[in-house]
Homo-oligomer: A and B are copies of this chain.
Amino acid sequence: MIDSNFTFCYDKVNTAAIAVSMEVETLEEKEISQAVIGRLPRYFRYLGELKDQGVERISSQDLSELMKVTASQIRQDFNNFGGFGQQGYGYNVEYLYREIGRILGLDRQHNFIIIGAGNLGRALGNYLNFERRGFIFRGMFDQNPELIGMEVRGVRIMAMEEMEDFIRENDIDIAVLTIPKTSAVSVAERLVKTGIRAIWNFAHVDLNVPEGIEVENVHLSDSLMKLSYNIRRERVKETEETK
């Protein structure tokens, strides 16, 4: 720290270098809220479509109209990552698409397995879009002996007993849980011990995992209930308007 201050006073060139390296560190260390993270994939999707349409630059105003969010929201979100663009000049679509992809970790491959070979598990295994984003379907597991040995898109269904070895030997990052909630908790405990990085949880239960393991829940019933709430609210509004 004394060194840095000393350099700061006497060497303009080094100062600039220090300022840059400090800023990079701050950006990497800063905790971005999960609300902002949750919006990044949508930016990524729209920018991908713009890129496919051959659009090279877009202003935050035009992006705002397209995505139906305020331009100030867009600027605030992007400021978390250093801004990306220049005022009055707009964003470079290709660059922004690539940078958001990199921030989302899409510049590297992720291997995943699916636990539970029911309809939902098979639907996810067959979903080719995941592969386009670098998520590679490597293995499937089920406790039903009748399913073992069958294949989903060329991937073999294995017995639950084989899960731990398979994860360790195949560099698996993500386990997708499409099993009933009654078995999800104990399977999650087994997964934690393998050193897996993330669980994509479709079981209707909250999983307790140690820090450092990511859990992303897709609770379909919760989503349906939210829909039901909004239907009810609309009904109440209509009733009040006709009073």
- Complex CA distance for A44 and B224, rounded to whole angstroms: 13
- Kindly list chain B residues whose C-beta atoms are within 8 Å of the C-beta of A130: 221, 224
How many A residues touch the partner, as a band?
A: 35 or more
Query: For residue A41, which residues in chain B have a CB less than 8 angstroms away from its CB?
Result: 219, 221-223, 225-226
Which one of B129, B216, B223 lies within 8 Å of A216 (CB-CB)?
B223
Point out the residues of chain B lying under 8 angstroms from A103, CB to CB: 229, 232
Given contacts A104-B225, A218-B218, A228-B106, contact A122 B119 (CB under 8 A): yes
Task: Name the B residues within 8 Å of A123 (CB-CB).
Answer: 118-120, 122-123
Q: Which of B37, B68, B126, B231 contacts A226 (CB 8 A)?
A: B37
Known contacts A123-B120, A224-B135, A227-B174; A214 and B234 CB within 8 A of each other: yes
- The residue of chain B having its C-beta at the shortest distance from the C-beta of A105 within the complex is B232
Among candidates B108, B225, B240, residue contacting A40 with C-beta atoms closer than 8 Å:
B225
Binary per-residue interface labels of chain A (108-134) against chain B in the complex, 1 for a CB within 8 Å, 0 otherwise = 101000000011101110110110010
Contact of A168 with B by CB under 8 A: no
B104 touches A220 (CB 8 A): no
Q: Is the CB of A129 within 8 A of B197?
A: no
Q: Flag whether A42 is at the interface (Cβ < 8 A).
A: yes
What 1/0 mask marks residues of chain A from 12 to 40 whose CB sits below 8 Å from any chain B CB? 00000000000000001100001001101
For this complex, 30 residue pairs linking A to B, each with C-beta atoms less than 8 Å apart, are A29-B240, A37-B229, A40-B226, A41-B221, A41-B226, A45-B222, A68-B206, A104-B228, A105-B228, A105-B229, A105-B235, A106-B228, A110-B228, A122-B123, A124-B220, A127-B220, A130-B221, A133-B225, A133-B228, A135-B224, A135-B228, A174-B231, A197-B231, A197-B234, A200-B223, A200-B227, A212-B234, A214-B230, A218-B220, A218-B223
Closest 9 CB pairs of A and B: A105-B232, A119-B123, A41-B222, A120-B123, A41-B225, A214-B230, A105-B228, A216-B227, A104-B225
